[in-house]
Amino acid sequence: MKHWKRQLLKLDSKISKSLHINEQQKSLVLVLKIFAHSGDSWLWLAALVIAWIFSADEWRQRLFFIAFGLVIMAAIVVLLKFTIRRPRPEGEWGQIYRITDPHSFPSGHAARSATLAVLAIAFGPPWFAILVVLWAPWVGISRVALGVHYFLDVVAGWVIGVIMGILAIALQPLAMQIFQFIP
């Protein structure tokens, strides 16, 4: 392994360990678990479907577009995970993630939260954008604190998420024309 890569991974491990929390801090662990799970893909896709059901035409198209974008972003993250194959940090919490997705880099939760933050700024009401922008970093931080990701996994996820959000905004007019069939 190249020297710079070894040094970077060593620093990443050190930062990640410094952010890891003690399991004895029950209240903090609970709050972090809520944030960690609040970035789950199934939760956001379910929320988008429910919002779609109760929305009018233009918002239905936007919600479909956001869900479609999240699926594409997830595919890119999975492709990167299975290409890079970085194992998750040692730990007990998050067994569902460790079993279904043993690869750590990049963090899909961080990517999803960053994409949603960018899209909330672009398309949502200001109050919602503020909430999502405040929520998004905590999803990634909680993943490191609970030991299912390294810090660099989360940073890479945030970068991917911001890029995907910006790309989605740029493609939104074209996508809205394509998704006109959405009732």
Domain ranges of the chain: 3-181
Low-confidence stretches of the chain (pLDDT beneath 70):
1, 93-95, 98, 179-183
Burial 136-149 (b: 16+ CB within 10 A, else e): bbbbbbbbbbbbbb
Residue 114: the pLDDT is 96
Q: In terms of residues, how long is the chain? A: 183
CB 176 within 8 A of CB 65: yes
Residue 181: the pLDDT is 63
Instruction: Output the pTM of the full model.
Output: 0.86
Residue 53: the pLDDT is 86
Categorise residue 91: left if φ over 0, alpha if ψ from -120 to 50, beta otherwise. left
Residue 56: the pLDDT is 78
Residue 94: the pLDDT is 64
CA distance 66 to 122: 12
CB 93 within 8 A of CB 146: yes
